């Protein structure tokens, strides 16, 4: 089973969380599955921007990225955050390789909006590159910094939302499952019981009735967007649910 996992940079800042996640990835690979990890790193990007006296600005949740901000994001995501997670997988007994969307034109993107600067959305995925690593039982650890669309002659490097990158990769690989690993067990009903499955219509109804609120709204909407992009099944869960096969499945 091809399993794409997405984790936020904020969660990876927790060393205990990162170590446990690495153990899960190695366990899945040894069990014959094909895990890939896509990660963010927004918190560390913001912290480094502050040190460099570069202001942070967001439009609808996306970071406005001028050339200086783009270079800082590249340093954090393709450098510190990525190699730290690769090292955790290696230390857990697995084999991993750190990649950005730039490497091997793994992710080609188109700019979203001039107001956002160097922010892109994936339009092509080099699945052959990923399949090669997976065939060798190597865990790809992917950060979402990506390159402009080759057909458009765009050689710029772009900042990409990690959720968008994970959804594009899962769809292109025809992955059986895309899991958003977070710090909650999944979506809860009004009585705080875990909902094991949700359709798009059921999800929207829970948002309208304010059962799904606050930070869970963007999480579930991201899951629905991934389904629309062609991903077969999408899940929200925490590390415990990841190990036990729990969480909330969207299909």
Q: Which residue has the tokens 């992917």?
A: 142
DSSP calls for 81-104:
IHHHHHHHHHHTT--EEEEEESGG
Q: What average pLDDT is seen over the chain?
A: 93
Q: What is the pLDDT of residue 9?
A: 79
Neighbours of 178 (CB within 10 A): 30
* Separation CA 167–CA 28 (nearest Å): 20
Residue 76 structure tokens? 């954090």
Q: How far, in Å, are 35, 99, 129, 224, 231 from residue 133 at the CA level?
A: 11, 11, 7, 28, 21
pLDDT in tens, 70-129: 999 999 999 999 999 999 999 999 999 999 999 999 999 999 999 999 999 999 999 999
pTM of the full structure:
0.92
Q: Where are the domains of the chain?
A: 2-175, 184-232+245-251
CATH class, domain 2-175, is alpha beta
**pLDDT tens track for 122-158:** 999 999 999 999 999 999 999 999 999 999 999 999 9
Active site residues: 6, 9, 42, 163, 219
pLDDT of residue 139: 98
Distance CA 25, CA 137 (A): 11
């Amino acid at each position: 089973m091809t399993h794409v996992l997405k984790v936020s940079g904020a969660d990876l800042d927790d060393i205990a969380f990162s170590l446990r996640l690495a153990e899960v990835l190695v366990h899945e690979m040894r069990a014959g599955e094909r895990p890939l990890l896509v990660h963010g790193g927004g918190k560390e990007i913001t912290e480094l921007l502050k040190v460099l006296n570069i202001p942070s600005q967001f439009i609808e949740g996306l970071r406005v990225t001028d050339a200086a901000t783009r270079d800082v994001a590249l340093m954090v995501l393709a450098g510190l955050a990525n190699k730290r997670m690769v090292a955790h997988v290696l230390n857990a007994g697995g084999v991993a390789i750190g990649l950005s969307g730039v490497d091997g034109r793994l992710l080609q993107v188109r700019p979203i909006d001039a107001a956002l600067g160097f922010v892109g959305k994936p339009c092509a995925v080099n699945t052959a590159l990923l399949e090669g690593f997976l065939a060798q039982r190597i865990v790809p650890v992917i950060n979402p910094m990506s390159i402009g669309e080759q057909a458009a002659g765009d050689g710029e490097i772009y900042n990409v939302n990690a959720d968008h990158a994970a959804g594009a990769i899962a769809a292109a690989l025809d992955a059986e499952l895309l899991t958003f690993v977070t710090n909650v067990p999944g979506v809860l009903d009004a009585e705080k019981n875990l909902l094991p499955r949700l359709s798009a219509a059921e999800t929207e109804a829970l948002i309208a009735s304010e059962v799904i609120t606050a930070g869970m709204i963007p999480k579930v909407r991201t899951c629905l967007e991934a389904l629309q992009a062609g991903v077969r099944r999408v899940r929200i869960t925490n590390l415990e649910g990841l190990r036990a096969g729990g969480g909330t499945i969207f299909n």
